[in-house]
Amino acid sequence: MVKHKPSAALLAGVLLALSSGARAQQLFSLEDARSDDDGGGLLLYPNRPDLQKGDLDLVRVSAEQRSDGIWFVAEMGQPIRSPEGKVTEVGLVPVDRLARNGFYTFNLDVYVDQDRIAGLGQTDAIPGRGVTIDRQFAWEKCIVLTPRPDIARTMLQLYYDSVFEADLRAKQGKVSKQELEALEKRSEAQVDERYFFPNKVRVSGRRIEFQVPGEFLGGTPTQSWAYTVVVTGANLEQASFLGKPSPAGAAMMTMGVGTGIRSDLWGIRSDTDPGTPPVIDLLAPDPQTQAKVLGDYDTVAGRLAAVPGVAPDGKAALPPTGVQLTMEQAARLGETTPAGTGPAATLPSTERRAAPARLRTLNQLLEEGLITQAEYDELRRKILAEL
Ligand SMILES: [Ca+2]
Ligand SMILES: [Ca+2]
């Protein structure tokens, strides 16, 4: 027998693989069915050349620990569309001025359940997504990959301002200026603690990678956390819906649903229920789950479709009665909102809200070129009108 000496090139290759293996450690990888980018079988792609079947088909979600931090990776069914060279329909603004991270057609939310205790955590999805998260996967952290992260973050803060304000007003019949300012601080803190809007994003073919700080997650993603992943179409020109989710789900730049084939909405047939959630794809544990989940809602009772997550270790959540809860967990369990009644299901009041800090944020967004002058004017007018 002749023993082959490994060539220098092969050795170099092995060493490279080893060293890059040391640099990037896969934390988990989850696959979704292909060609199921049709909601629960009910949504049709709009009639426009830059949104075609397969574009928003989620195929895989994974995360890696790299030398420069934690990176999540989503793989789609088709190459991700670049905003370069596109202009908005209204005002003909270059799309890559608004969407600066190399993509513009979709939002991808990752809701992370870290404790895996049923009902412990949040069940509300981002407003406008038209779904909730299954309470077996109640989440602690939410990553919102969206083409306009800064304006989305502001929208979410304004949304929570109005939710908190409506709560307080309902409780005591009036809200003082000081209370409004305190509310604003509270919603800002809540958004910071629970939500992350990636701004370090790389697009390459069908893959999109986004960095998520370990400090935000409070640790490194593990096989025992569960991940609920929801894909929606992005409507970049929705800033005028700021903080006001409409019943059609037009909020947080989520593309809505409408009868027939349209250019800016997911289409449904005339015999399809108009309450169909605007979710085009989700990470499902098996091919049957998606249609079942997205069809299970009740618009009269206000019950939204509850999307489950997937745990890489395949384990089910523990019932809160079966585990020793920490004081912090016991306190959180008490404040968890039942599915369908959380902020996502509530339409906030459009009454007076704290304005100065929000106006400052708006000015900043305009200065940085993250919103257009027209959007700025519209938003400013709205905020001032509500004083
Ligand atoms: Ca899919
Ligand atoms: Ca949880």
User: Tell me, what amino acid is at 25?
Assistant: Q
Residue 346 pLDDT exceeds 50: no
Q: Which has more confidence, 339 or 198? A: 198
User: Whose atoms come closest to the Cα of 59: which ligand?
Assistant: 1
Are the CB atoms for 383 and 362 separated by under 8 Å?
yes
**CATH code given to domain 22-307:** 2.60.40.1190
Q: Which has more confidence, 236 or 331? A: 236
Reference 124, options 179, 39, 195; nearest CA is 195
According to DSSP, residue 168 is labeled H
User: Whose atoms come closest to the Cα of 133: which ligand?
Assistant: 2
CB < 8 Å & 24+ apart, contacts of 164-171: 165/348, 165/349, 165/351, 165/352, 165/353, 166/346, 166/348, 166/349, 166/351, 169/349, 169/351
User: Whose atoms come closest to the Cα of 325: which ligand?
Assistant: 2
Instruction: Name the token pair of 103.
Output: 């993509």
CA of 361 relative to ligand 2 center, distance in Å: 31
Q: pLDDT for 168-196, tens place per residue?
A: 999 999 999 999 999 999 999 999 999 99
Instruction: Label the pairing between strands 201-204 and 207-211.
Output: antiparallel
CA of 296 relative to ligand 1 center, distance in Å: 19
pLDDT at 387: 52
CA of 325 relative to ligand 1 center, distance in Å: 36
Q: Which has more confidence, 326 or 346? A: 326
Are the CB atoms for 337 and 346 separated by under 8 Å?
no
pTM: predicted TM-score of the whole model, two decimal places: 0.83
Q: pLDDT for 207-251, tens place per residue?
A: 999 999 999 999 999 999 999 999 999 998 765 444 444 433 337
Least confident of 189-203, 259-273, 300-314, 347-361: 347-361
Least confident of 104-118, 299-313, 327-341, 354-368: 327-341
Angle, vertex CA 195, rays to CA 190 and CA 200, nearest 5: 140
CA of 59 relative to ligand 1 center, distance in Å: 5
Reference 205, options 109, 102, 66, 110; nearest CA is 102
Confidence band of 379 (pLDDT split at 50, 70, 90)? confident
CA of 31 relative to ligand 2 center, distance in Å: 22
Q: pLDDT for 92-102, tens place per residue?
A: 889 998 899 99
CA of 318 relative to ligand 1 center, distance in Å: 28
User: Whose atoms come closest to the Cα of 35: which ligand?
Assistant: 1
CA of 135 relative to ligand 2 center, distance in Å: 8
Most confident by average pLDDT, 84-98, 156-170, 205-219, 367-381: 205-219
User: Whose atoms come closest to the Cα of 142: which ligand?
Assistant: 2
Q: Which has more confidence, 348 or 2? A: 2
CA of 372 relative to ligand 2 center, distance in Å: 38
Strand stretches in the chain, DSSP E: 25-31, 58-66, 69-76, 106-113, 131-133, 141-145, 195-196, 201-204, 207-211, 226-233, 257-259, 266-268, 279-282, 305-307
User: Whose atoms come closest to the Cα of 37: which ligand?
Assistant: 1
Distance CA 353, CA 120 (A): 30
User: Whose atoms come closest to the Cα of 114: which ligand?
Assistant: 2
Confidence band of 16 (pLDDT split at 50, 70, 90)? low
pLDDT at 100: 93
pLDDT at 236: 85
User: Whose atoms come closest to the Cα of 332: which ligand?
Assistant: 2
pLDDT over 90 for what percent of the chain?
61
Most confident by average pLDDT, 6-10, 210-214, 327-331: 210-214
Least confident of 157-166, 297-306, 363-372: 363-372
User: Tell me, what amino acid is at 15?
Assistant: L
Residue 3 pLDDT exceeds 90: no
CA of 167 relative to ligand 1 center, distance in Å: 38
Instruction: Name the token pair of 15.
Output: 């060493």
- Distances from the Cα of 120 to the Cαs of 74, 136, 179, 306, 337, in angstroms? 27, 8, 29, 15, 10
Distance CA 4, CA 12 (A): 16
Q: pLDDT for 300-320, tens place per residue?
A: 898 999 999 999 999 999 988
Residue 28 pLDDT exceeds 90: yes
In the structure, how many helices (H) and strands (E) does the chain have? 9, 14
CA of 62 relative to ligand 1 center, distance in Å: 14
Contacts of 349 (CB under 8 A, 6+ apart): 162, 165, 166, 169
Of the CA atoms within 13 Å of residue 289, those in its CB half-sphere come to 15
- State which residues have CB under 5 angstroms from ligand 2, the bound ion: 113, 115, 120-121, 138
Q: Domain-by-domain residue ranges, the chain?
A: 22-307, 327-385
CA of 138 relative to ligand 2 center, distance in Å: 4
User: Whose atoms come closest to the Cα of 136: which ligand?
Assistant: 2
Q: Which has more confidence, 373 or 210? A: 210
CA of 207 relative to ligand 1 center, distance in Å: 14
User: Whose atoms come closest to the Cα of 111: which ligand?
Assistant: 2
Run of H or E residues at 17 = helix 8-23
Distance of CA 85 to the CA centre of its chain: 26
What is the DSSP track for 274-292?
Answer: TT---EEEE--SSTTHHHH
pLDDT over 70 for what percent of the chain?
83
